[in-house]
Amino acid sequence: MVKLRRGTHQAYTETGSLRLRAAWLYYNQGMTQKEVADQLSISRTTVIRMLDEAVKRGEVQIWIKEGVDDCVELAIKLERLYGLDEALVVPSPAKASADAIAKNVGLALGQFLSEVITDNCTIGTGWGRTMTASLASFHPPRRENCRVVSLLGGVVAVHLNNPIDYTWQLASQLGAECYMFLSPLLVDSAETRRSLIEECGLAEIYRLAEELDLAIVSCGDIGPHSTSQSERFITEKDREELIAAGCVCDTMFNFLDAEGNSIDHPLNRRVMAVGLDSIRKARHVVLASGGARRAQAIRATIKRIGCNTLVTDEAAARGLLALAEKDEAA
């Protein structure tokens, strides 16, 4: 895997990070615009523009509070210990509900994607609460010759999130061609899965998935409040069987153990989703997930598909660092 082309856009670490620092110094430290400009070695006009941009993007509300410097430090440590190109760490919400965490991480994801998607880009998308939340801050310029590909099937009875809906909205905002994964998320057997891929027009999805410039995925844990459980995609019996087999993670409805290996369970053979090994081939993998309880799932996902850009929150970041320290001590 390689980095996104830095020559065709400014990296988040080169634009967003500087903007956040300017806003933090101005709003939290009480510096004047001239003092901010002097400290960051930029012009006062640039500071004014950055502060205005931060307000428009909602970053002051989301990011600028006590502890933002801790987020930067956590991001640097994650990059070093997990071999990431970049990590974006947002403050954890005061009330750490699944929806609040997804909103915070999703808003950062949407801002990041708005800046890095270029023309002539083939984008593969997963799904989940975090991905859906990213649409609120996804405001990219119209791009030429882009394709957005759903990497897994949909659901018949929609409760909160439908992966196809996310793919369609992302493509619409980009003005991109959209490839829908038109099948149920789960089928009754491995044989049905094979037939749908080979005989019902899904082969093109799998072909495009081998040529991704950008893969955007999330992951979840396997706890009682996980997305798979809360959305009733799996039964409690399935969940107990998966846990007994060593499952800690749900990545695009692929159930993994702590080392990123697929669990030997019928669900993994019945899911209509592009294989994780194909996603690993993407030129740039973006993984977005947060919450302390998902640290182990994030680690397992990184081990399985790799990760160039990680978007997460403080609680998950601290959990990931603790897991990395355990690995080093072992």
On the question of pLDDT at 10 being above 80, the answer is no
Residue 224 has pLDDT above 90, yes or no: no
The answer to whether residue 58 scores a pLDDT higher than 70 is: no
Level-2 CATH architecture, domain 67-329: 3-Layer(aba) Sandwich (3.40)
pLDDT band at residue 15 under the 50/70/90 scheme: low
Q: Which of 2-6, 32-36, 76-80 has the lowest average pLDDT?
A: 2-6
pTM here?
0.79
What pLDDT sits at residue 227?
67
Confidence of residue 96 (pLDDT cuts 50, 70, 90): confident
Which amino acid would we find at residue 311?
Answer: V
- Give pLDDT tens digits for 111-157: 899 989 999 999 999 988 899 999 988 988 889 999 999 999 876 55
Query: Residue 185: its pLDDT value, please?
Result: 87
pLDDT at 41 over 80: yes
Please give the pLDDT value at position 60: 65
List CB contacts of 149: < 8 A, sequence separation 6 or more.
122, 123, 124, 125, 167, 179, 181, 205, 208, 209, 212
| Phi then psi dihedrals of residue 219, to 5 deg | -150, 160
pLDDT at 200: 81
Residue 207 clears pLDDT 90, i.e. is over it? yes
Residue 12 pLDDT > 60, yes or no? no
- Whether pLDDT at 160 is above 80: no
232 pLDDT tier (thresholds 50, 70, 90): low
What's the confidence (pLDDT) of residue 316?
Answer: 97
- Please give the residue that has the higher pLDDT: either 55 or 76: 76
What average pLDDT is seen over the chain? 85
pLDDT, residue 9, reads 39
Give the whole-angstrom CA distance, residue 284 versus residue 62: 26
pLDDT digits (tens, 9 = 90+) for 237-291: 999 999 999 999 999 999 999 999 999 999 999 999 999 999 999 999 999 999 9
Mean pLDDT of 187-216: 90
Half-sphere exposure of 215 (CA within 13 A, CB side): 32
Question: Would you place residue 230 in the very low, low, confident or very high pLDDT band (cuts 50, 70, 90)?
Answer: low
Of the pLDDT bands very low, low, confident and very high (cuts 50, 70, 90), residue 68 is: low
Q: In the block, which residue shows the tokens 């850009």?
A: 309
Binned at pLDDT 50, 70 and 90, residue 64 comes out as very low
Looking at residue 317, the DSSP 8-state letter turns out to be H
Domain boundaries for CATH 3.40.50.1360 within the chain: 67-329
290-321 tens-digit pLDDT: 999 999 999 999 999 999 999 999 999 999 99
Tell me which CATH code domain 10-65 carries: 1.10.10
CATH 1.10.10 in the chain, residues?
A: 10-65
Is the pLDDT confidence value at 61 over 60? no
